[in-house]
Amino acid sequence: MTLADERIERLHALAADAASTGHDDRAREYVRLARRVAERNRRSLPRRLKRFSCDACDAYLRPGRNCRVRTQDGHVVITCVCGAQARYPYR
């Protein structure tokens, strides 16, 4: 675990925390920062953060609040309130 990974994890936790208390804009900032740290250090985002953030608007996604989750043809389809969809194979 590198220092960058630790920073990413901390930003992830902050994003989750902000989102859970309704501070969506702040959560988005943390998601952006986490992505930036990951890019700059060539680290990949933790799987959970990757799945629960919107590629289009950087929102930290919370099912039932700002995104819908459906399963379709062996995939999980996550639709953000901004309209962007992400599909992941279902495990």
Positions touching Zn ion (CB under 5 A) are 54, 56-57, 59, 80, 82, 84
Neighbours of 16 (CB within 10 A): 18
80 annotated as ligand-binding: yes
Strands 75-80 and 67-72, bridge-based pairing: antiparallel
67 annotated as ligand-binding: no
Q: In the bound complex, what is the minimum distance in angstroms from residue 3's beta carbon to Zn ion?
A: 29
Q: In the bound complex, what is the minimum distance in angstroms from residue 57's beta carbon to Zn ion?
A: 3
Q: What is d(CA 89, CA 7) in angstroms, rounded to the nearest whole number?
A: 28
> Residues annotated as binding site for Zn(2+)?
54, 57, 80, 82
